[in-house]
Amino acid sequence: MRYDGAVPLANGRGDRLCFGVMSILNEAGFRPPGEAQSLILQIDVGCPWNRCTFCGMYKGMSYRRRPLADIWDLIEQEAKRHSDARRIFLADGDVMSRPFTDLRAILQALLKHFPQLTRVSMYANGASIMAKTEAELAALRLLKLHTLYMGLESGDDEILRQCEKRETSAEMVAACKAAQSAGLRMSVMILLGLGGIARSEQHAVHTAEALNRMQPRLLSALRVIPVAGTKLHDAVRNGMFRSLTEFGVVRELREMIAPLDLVATVFRANHSSNVVPLEARFPRDKDRMVAMLDGVLSSNTLDRETAGTMPFWL
Ligand code: SF4
Protein backbone atom coordinates (compact mmCIF):
# COMPACT_ATOMS: atom_id res chain seq x y z
CA MET A 1 0.00 0.00 0.00
CA ARG A 2 0.91 3.40 -0.22
CA TYR A 3 -1.80 5.75 0.72
CA ASP A 4 -0.20 7.05 3.86
CA GLY A 5 -0.14 10.45 2.22
CA ALA A 6 2.84 9.25 0.29
CA VAL A 7 4.79 12.19 -0.92
CA PRO A 8 5.67 12.28 -4.59
CA LEU A 9 9.08 13.71 -5.15
CA ALA A 10 9.48 15.48 -8.45
CA ASN A 11 12.74 16.01 -10.31
CA GLY A 12 14.73 14.09 -7.79
CA ARG A 13 13.99 16.64 -5.10
CA GLY A 14 10.67 18.19 -4.29
CA ASP A 15 7.56 17.77 -2.27
CA ARG A 16 4.30 18.43 -4.00
CA LEU A 17 2.25 18.03 -0.87
CA CYS A 18 4.36 20.26 1.33
CA PHE A 19 5.02 17.86 4.15
CA GLY A 20 7.89 19.99 5.27
CA VAL A 21 11.55 19.20 4.95
CA MET A 22 12.52 17.60 1.70
CA SER A 23 14.01 14.18 1.65
CA ILE A 24 17.47 13.52 0.44
CA LEU A 25 16.63 11.65 -2.70
CA ASN A 26 18.71 10.05 -5.38
CA GLU A 27 15.85 9.49 -7.84
CA ALA A 28 12.19 10.32 -8.20
CA GLY A 29 9.78 8.24 -6.15
CA PHE A 30 7.41 8.30 -3.19
CA ARG A 31 8.06 8.22 0.49
CA PRO A 32 5.87 8.38 3.59
CA PRO A 33 5.60 11.79 5.32
CA GLY A 34 7.39 10.31 8.33
CA GLU A 35 10.50 9.70 6.24
CA ALA A 36 11.06 13.38 5.44
CA GLN A 37 14.47 13.31 7.13
CA SER A 38 15.60 10.03 5.59
CA LEU A 39 17.98 9.37 2.78
CA ILE A 40 15.84 7.75 0.08
CA LEU A 41 17.45 4.99 -1.95
CA GLN A 42 15.51 3.72 -4.92
CA ILE A 43 16.12 0.01 -4.81
CA ASP A 44 13.23 -0.91 -7.09
CA VAL A 45 11.03 0.95 -9.54
CA GLY A 46 7.24 0.87 -9.15
CA CYS A 47 4.99 -1.61 -7.38
CA PRO A 48 5.01 -5.36 -8.12
CA TRP A 49 1.24 -5.54 -7.56
CA ASN A 50 0.10 -2.24 -9.08
CA ARG A 51 -3.55 -3.30 -9.34
CA CYS A 52 -5.34 -1.53 -6.51
CA THR A 53 -8.23 0.36 -8.08
CA PHE A 54 -7.72 3.51 -5.99
CA CYS A 55 -3.96 3.81 -6.43
CA GLY A 56 -2.41 6.03 -9.07
CA MET A 57 1.09 6.11 -7.63
CA TYR A 58 2.81 3.84 -10.11
CA LYS A 59 0.23 3.66 -12.89
CA GLY A 60 1.82 3.36 -16.31
CA MET A 61 5.12 2.35 -14.77
CA SER A 62 6.58 -1.13 -15.28
CA TYR A 63 7.80 -2.69 -12.07
CA ARG A 64 11.53 -3.33 -12.16
CA ARG A 65 13.92 -4.75 -9.60
CA ARG A 66 17.28 -3.12 -9.89
CA PRO A 67 20.10 -5.66 -10.19
CA LEU A 68 22.15 -6.04 -7.01
CA ALA A 69 25.28 -4.83 -8.82
CA ASP A 70 23.50 -1.53 -9.54
CA ILE A 71 22.39 -1.30 -5.93
CA TRP A 72 25.98 -1.70 -4.68
CA ASP A 73 27.01 1.16 -6.99
CA LEU A 74 24.11 3.28 -5.75
CA ILE A 75 24.98 2.67 -2.11
CA GLU A 76 28.64 3.53 -2.69
CA GLN A 77 27.76 6.76 -4.50
CA GLU A 78 25.24 7.85 -1.86
CA ALA A 79 27.62 6.97 0.97
CA LYS A 80 30.15 9.40 -0.49
CA ARG A 81 27.57 12.20 -0.48
CA HIS A 82 25.67 11.35 2.71
CA SER A 83 28.09 9.31 4.83
CA ASP A 84 26.48 10.63 8.02
CA ALA A 85 22.96 9.39 7.14
CA ARG A 86 21.24 7.91 10.17
CA ARG A 87 17.92 6.99 8.57
CA ILE A 88 17.35 5.39 5.18
CA PHE A 89 14.11 4.67 3.35
CA LEU A 90 14.20 2.07 0.60
CA ALA A 91 11.84 2.85 -2.32
CA ASP A 92 9.70 2.07 -4.29
CA GLY A 93 6.41 0.31 -3.75
CA ASP A 94 7.17 -2.96 -1.97
CA VAL A 95 10.88 -3.54 -1.42
CA MET A 96 9.90 -6.23 1.10
CA SER A 97 8.82 -8.37 -1.87
CA ARG A 98 12.49 -9.07 -2.60
CA PRO A 99 13.84 -12.41 -1.43
CA PHE A 100 15.21 -12.52 2.10
CA THR A 101 18.76 -13.05 0.81
CA ASP A 102 18.58 -9.81 -1.21
CA LEU A 103 17.24 -7.85 1.72
CA ARG A 104 19.87 -9.23 4.07
CA ALA A 105 22.66 -8.36 1.62
CA ILE A 106 21.28 -4.84 1.06
CA LEU A 107 21.00 -4.15 4.79
CA GLN A 108 24.52 -5.49 5.37
CA ALA A 109 25.85 -3.20 2.64
CA LEU A 110 24.06 -0.22 4.18
CA LEU A 111 25.52 -0.94 7.59
CA LYS A 112 28.98 -1.19 6.07
CA HIS A 113 28.76 2.11 4.17
CA PHE A 114 26.74 4.22 6.61
CA PRO A 115 28.45 3.89 10.01
CA GLN A 116 25.89 6.07 11.82
CA LEU A 117 22.87 4.25 10.43
CA THR A 118 20.19 3.69 13.07
CA ARG A 119 17.14 2.61 11.08
CA VAL A 120 15.98 1.47 7.67
CA SER A 121 12.36 1.58 6.57
CA MET A 122 10.34 0.54 3.53
CA TYR A 123 6.86 -0.07 2.20
CA ALA A 124 5.77 -3.67 2.67
CA ASN A 125 2.65 -5.46 1.54
CA GLY A 126 1.11 -8.17 3.68
CA ALA A 127 1.99 -10.95 1.26
CA SER A 128 5.63 -9.87 1.15
CA ILE A 129 5.90 -9.91 4.92
CA MET A 130 4.23 -13.32 5.15
CA ALA A 131 6.64 -14.71 2.56
CA LYS A 132 9.38 -14.34 5.22
CA THR A 133 9.81 -16.74 8.11
CA GLU A 134 9.80 -15.61 11.72
CA ALA A 135 13.57 -16.14 11.85
CA GLU A 136 14.08 -14.13 8.65
CA LEU A 137 12.06 -11.19 9.96
CA ALA A 138 14.07 -11.27 13.19
CA ALA A 139 17.34 -11.39 11.21
CA LEU A 140 16.30 -8.33 9.19
CA ARG A 141 15.43 -6.51 12.39
CA LEU A 142 18.92 -7.23 13.75
CA LEU A 143 20.30 -5.59 10.60
CA LYS A 144 18.49 -2.34 11.50
CA LEU A 145 15.30 -2.84 9.50
CA HIS A 146 12.97 -0.76 11.64
CA THR A 147 9.60 0.39 10.23
CA LEU A 148 7.36 -1.28 7.64
CA TYR A 149 4.64 0.86 6.08
CA MET A 150 1.66 -1.31 5.16
CA GLY A 151 -1.69 -0.34 3.69
CA LEU A 152 -4.56 -2.19 5.33
CA GLU A 153 -6.91 0.22 3.55
CA SER A 154 -9.95 -1.58 4.98
CA GLY A 155 -10.69 -4.47 7.31
CA ASP A 156 -13.71 -5.38 5.19
CA ASP A 157 -12.94 -8.23 2.80
CA GLU A 158 -15.63 -7.26 0.33
CA ILE A 159 -14.12 -3.80 0.00
CA LEU A 160 -10.64 -5.31 -0.34
CA ARG A 161 -11.94 -7.61 -3.08
CA GLN A 162 -13.67 -4.77 -4.90
CA CYS A 163 -10.58 -2.59 -4.83
CA GLU A 164 -8.40 -5.51 -5.97
CA LYS A 165 -6.16 -5.48 -2.95
CA ARG A 166 -3.98 -8.55 -2.98
CA GLU A 167 -4.52 -9.69 0.60
CA THR A 168 -7.51 -10.36 2.81
CA SER A 169 -7.95 -8.57 6.10
CA ALA A 170 -6.93 -11.69 8.06
CA GLU A 171 -3.74 -12.02 6.01
CA MET A 172 -2.76 -8.44 6.75
CA VAL A 173 -3.54 -8.87 10.43
CA ALA A 174 -1.26 -11.93 10.46
CA ALA A 175 1.49 -10.03 8.62
CA CYS A 176 1.34 -7.15 11.07
CA LYS A 177 1.50 -9.48 14.05
CA ALA A 178 4.40 -11.45 12.60
CA ALA A 179 6.42 -8.31 11.92
CA GLN A 180 5.75 -6.84 15.34
CA SER A 181 6.62 -10.14 17.02
CA ALA A 182 9.98 -9.89 15.29
CA GLY A 183 10.50 -6.41 16.78
CA LEU A 184 9.65 -4.44 13.65
CA ARG A 185 7.49 -1.36 13.91
CA MET A 186 4.33 -1.40 11.81
CA SER A 187 2.89 1.78 10.38
CA VAL A 188 -0.58 0.93 9.04
CA MET A 189 -2.66 3.03 6.68
CA ILE A 190 -6.43 3.02 6.27
CA LEU A 191 -8.51 4.77 3.64
CA LEU A 192 -11.68 6.54 4.74
CA GLY A 193 -14.50 6.32 2.22
CA LEU A 194 -13.05 3.31 0.41
CA GLY A 195 -16.38 1.45 0.60
CA GLY A 196 -18.31 4.47 -0.62
CA ILE A 197 -21.84 5.04 0.62
CA ALA A 198 -22.72 1.40 0.00
CA ARG A 199 -20.28 -0.10 2.52
CA SER A 200 -19.41 2.71 4.90
CA GLU A 201 -20.85 0.94 7.92
CA GLN A 202 -19.06 -2.36 7.19
CA HIS A 203 -15.86 -0.44 6.48
CA ALA A 204 -15.94 1.21 9.89
CA VAL A 205 -16.85 -1.93 11.85
CA HIS A 206 -14.48 -4.37 10.14
CA THR A 207 -11.57 -1.94 9.97
CA ALA A 208 -11.81 -1.28 13.70
CA GLU A 209 -11.89 -5.05 14.33
CA ALA A 210 -8.80 -5.62 12.19
CA LEU A 211 -6.91 -2.76 13.85
CA ASN A 212 -7.74 -4.08 17.30
CA ARG A 213 -6.18 -7.39 16.30
CA MET A 214 -3.17 -5.74 14.68
CA GLN A 215 -2.31 -3.24 17.44
CA PRO A 216 -0.09 -1.21 15.08
CA ARG A 217 2.38 1.22 16.66
CA LEU A 218 1.55 3.86 14.04
CA LEU A 219 -1.79 4.37 12.34
CA SER A 220 -2.68 6.83 9.57
CA ALA A 221 -6.16 7.53 8.23
CA LEU A 222 -6.56 9.28 4.92
CA ARG A 223 -9.60 9.98 2.82
CA VAL A 224 -9.69 8.17 -0.49
CA ILE A 225 -9.36 10.52 -3.45
CA PRO A 226 -10.52 9.23 -6.85
CA VAL A 227 -7.37 10.02 -8.82
CA ALA A 228 -7.66 10.40 -12.61
CA GLY A 229 -6.41 7.31 -14.44
CA THR A 230 -7.53 4.85 -11.77
CA LYS A 231 -10.41 2.37 -11.90
CA LEU A 232 -11.95 4.06 -8.89
CA HIS A 233 -12.04 7.37 -10.76
CA ASP A 234 -13.79 5.64 -13.67
CA ALA A 235 -16.29 4.01 -11.29
CA VAL A 236 -17.16 7.39 -9.77
CA ARG A 237 -17.64 8.91 -13.20
CA ASN A 238 -19.93 6.16 -14.47
CA GLY A 239 -21.96 6.09 -11.27
CA MET A 240 -20.80 2.66 -10.09
CA PHE A 241 -19.19 4.12 -6.95
CA ARG A 242 -20.87 6.76 -4.83
CA SER A 243 -18.38 8.68 -2.75
CA LEU A 244 -19.18 9.64 0.82
CA THR A 245 -20.23 13.18 1.52
CA GLU A 246 -18.04 15.32 3.73
CA PHE A 247 -20.40 14.53 6.60
CA GLY A 248 -20.30 10.82 5.76
CA VAL A 249 -16.51 10.70 5.92
CA VAL A 250 -16.41 12.27 9.37
CA ARG A 251 -19.19 9.97 10.59
CA GLU A 252 -17.29 6.96 9.24
CA LEU A 253 -14.13 8.07 11.03
CA ARG A 254 -16.08 8.51 14.25
CA GLU A 255 -17.62 5.05 13.92
CA MET A 256 -14.19 3.57 13.25
CA ILE A 257 -12.45 5.25 16.16
CA ALA A 258 -15.11 4.65 18.81
CA PRO A 259 -14.64 0.84 19.00
CA LEU A 260 -10.83 0.99 18.81
CA ASP A 261 -9.09 -0.65 21.71
CA LEU A 262 -5.46 0.14 20.97
CA VAL A 263 -2.94 -0.09 23.78
CA ALA A 264 -0.07 2.01 22.39
CA THR A 265 -0.69 3.60 19.00
CA VAL A 266 0.22 6.97 17.57
CA PHE A 267 -2.63 8.05 15.31
CA ARG A 268 -2.57 10.62 12.53
CA ALA A 269 -5.34 11.84 10.27
CA ASN A 270 -3.74 15.13 9.39
CA HIS A 271 -3.19 14.73 5.67
CA SER A 272 -4.74 17.40 3.44
CA SER A 273 -7.38 14.87 2.33
CA ASN A 274 -8.84 14.68 5.85
CA VAL A 275 -11.90 16.77 6.65
CA VAL A 276 -10.98 17.02 10.35
CA PRO A 277 -7.23 16.94 10.99
CA LEU A 278 -6.34 14.77 13.99
CA GLU A 279 -3.19 13.74 15.80
CA ALA A 280 -3.53 11.63 18.90
CA ARG A 281 -2.28 8.75 20.99
CA PHE A 282 -4.31 5.70 21.85
CA PRO A 283 -5.64 4.95 24.37
CA ARG A 284 -5.05 8.33 26.04
CA ASP A 285 -6.84 10.59 23.56
CA LYS A 286 -9.60 8.34 22.26
CA ASP A 287 -12.53 9.71 24.26
CA ARG A 288 -11.49 13.29 23.54
CA MET A 289 -11.32 12.52 19.81
CA VAL A 290 -14.73 10.87 19.73
CA ALA A 291 -16.26 13.79 21.64
CA MET A 292 -14.64 16.25 19.26
CA LEU A 293 -15.94 14.38 16.21
CA ASP A 294 -19.41 14.22 17.76
CA GLY A 295 -19.23 17.99 18.17
CA VAL A 296 -18.24 18.49 14.52
CA LEU A 297 -20.99 16.13 13.32
CA SER A 298 -23.67 18.02 15.26
CA SER A 299 -22.36 21.45 14.30
CA ASN A 300 -24.12 21.65 10.94
CA THR A 301 -20.91 22.82 9.29
CA LEU A 302 -20.28 19.73 7.17
CA ASP A 303 -21.51 19.28 3.61
CA ARG A 304 -24.20 16.58 3.60
CA GLU A 305 -24.80 16.73 -0.15
CA THR A 306 -21.37 16.47 -1.75
CA ALA A 307 -17.88 15.26 -0.99
CA GLY A 308 -16.79 18.86 -0.44
CA THR A 309 -13.34 20.10 -1.36
CA MET A 310 -10.74 17.47 -2.04
CA PRO A 311 -7.08 17.74 -2.98
CA PHE A 312 -6.10 16.69 -6.50
CA TRP A 313 -3.63 14.15 -5.25
CA LEU A 314 -3.58 11.88 -2.29
S1 SF4 B 1 0.04 -2.36 -3.37
FE2 SF4 B 1 -1.72 -1.28 -4.23
S3 SF4 B 1 -1.83 0.65 -3.08
FE4 SF4 B 1 0.21 -0.19 -2.75
S5 SF4 B 1 1.48 0.80 -4.32
FE6 SF4 B 1 0.80 -1.18 -5.13
S7 SF4 B 1 -1.05 -0.70 -6.28
FE8 SF4 B 1 -0.63 1.06 -4.96
pLDDT of residue 33: 87
User: In 3-state terms, what secondary structure has residue 257?
Assistant: helix
Quote the CA–CA distance of 288 and 296 in Å, as a whole number.
12
> Which of 107, 106, 190, 188 is closest to 147 using CA atoms?
188
Atom of ligand 1 nearest to the CA of 51: 7
Instruction: Determine which helix (DSSP H) or strand (DSSP E) holds 30, and give its type and residue range.
Output: strand 29-31
Atom of ligand 1 nearest to the CA of 125: 1
pLDDT of residue 31: 85
Q: Which CATH architecture has domain 7-297?
A: Alpha-Beta Horseshoe (3.80)
Ligand 1, residues at Cβ distance < 6 Å: 1-2, 47, 49-52, 55, 57-58, 93, 125, 151
Beta bridge partners of 267: 219, 280
pLDDT of residue 134: 97
pLDDT of residue 25: 42
Atom of ligand 1 nearest to the CA of 153: 3
Quote the CA–CA distance of 109 and 257 in Å, as a whole number.
41
Parts of the chain with a pLDDT under 50: 1-3, 9-28, 314
pLDDT of residue 16: 26
pLDDT of residue 273: 76
CA of 51 to the centre of ligand 1 (A): 7
pLDDT digits (tens, 9 = 90+) for 180-225: 999 999 999 999 999 999 999 999 999 999 999 999 999 999 999 9
CA-nearest residue for atom 7, ligand 1, is 50
The domain locations on the chain are 7-297
pLDDT of residue 271: 77
